[in-house]
Amino acid sequence: MKKRIIAILATLLTMQLPVIAKTVHFSSNSITSSIYMQELQIYNKRVAEEMLGAIAEGKLITPDYIRENIKELSNKGYCTHGYIFNNTHAYATKGLLDLLHNLVTSSEITKHHPISILSLFRTGRNHGQKQVNGDIICRAVDIDGYSGNLINMSNPNSSLKAILKVIDNMPQGRYVVGLPRPGGGSLINPNKDFFLPVNSLSQNERTPTGTLTGDLKLIKNSDARNKITKAFCKNKKAKVMFLMPDAVDHLHIKALDDNQPS
């Protein structure tokens, strides 16, 4: 009798296993995706609230459209209005949020030594990427001042100070960094290149060598080259894949996902 009961139970368990496995597999995929998006929205809200607080205290300076984006982000976890979004949902990745949190909440940032953001939630080129469902994932920020030091090619030494402080405060992650250059847009000015050289527009917005080590060696000003190299060596948490000359009067930082090619 005991053997017969065991045999029946074994048969029933065998019959149920495929159904259980199918249900768990389906639920696991669905819940994981849902939980991730919920957590990402919560994190967007939290960092946006920190940024709003910094704006109110005079620690963070932004254009009006970014301020409106941050307000909406703090309420919804995404923003729908602003820089050519056309009412789609735009939100920051975890990597970008980690970066913004560190830069904005640093003890070096005060009312008299603020951070200034030129561009944040936007599409195009190295900033935001439109997804199949229409959402825009934002990965990059343009900074035109940090800890009271302006990033402006009319004062390259002030730009260097700001860049060094930003590097010091970059959290763990993978990044691409775009250094400022004179001219901007379709203009170049090789004689005034202070960071990476741009002798033709074909060299702009792309890495000269494909590696951080190689790109650092090409920084034209020796003081900037030595100090930026030391800053990256000191901050071992931030893994910068490469540098590139970007545009005039700001520092561009793109946060990469773990599985995202640079």
**What's the pLDDT tens digit per position in 83-115?**
555 667 888 999 999 999 999 999 999 999 999
Continuous segment of H or E residues that includes residue 145: strand 140-146
Phi/psi-derived region of residue 109, left when phi > 0, alpha when psi is between -120 and 50, beta in every other case = beta
For 209-255, the pLDDT digits (tens) are 999 999 999 999 999 999 999 999 999 999 999 999 999 999 999 99
Give the list of residues 6+ apart from residue 239 with CB closer than 8 angstroms, or none: 173, 174, 175
Summarize pLDDT for 3-23 with one digit per residue, the tens: 554 454 444 434 433 332 332
* Beta carbons within 10 angstroms of residue 187's beta carbon: 11
- Give the pLDDT of residue 173: 97
Delimit the domains of the chain by residue range. Answer: 2-256
Q: What span, in angstroms and rounded, lies between the C-alpha atoms of 107 and 110? A: 7
Residue 10: how many other CB atoms lie within 10 Å: 10
Distance CA 248, CA 123 (A): 19
- For CA atoms 157, 168, 184, 205, the dihedral sign is positive
Rounded distance between C-alpha atoms, residue 212 and residue 174, angstroms: 12
Beta carbons within 10 angstroms of residue 223's beta carbon: 12
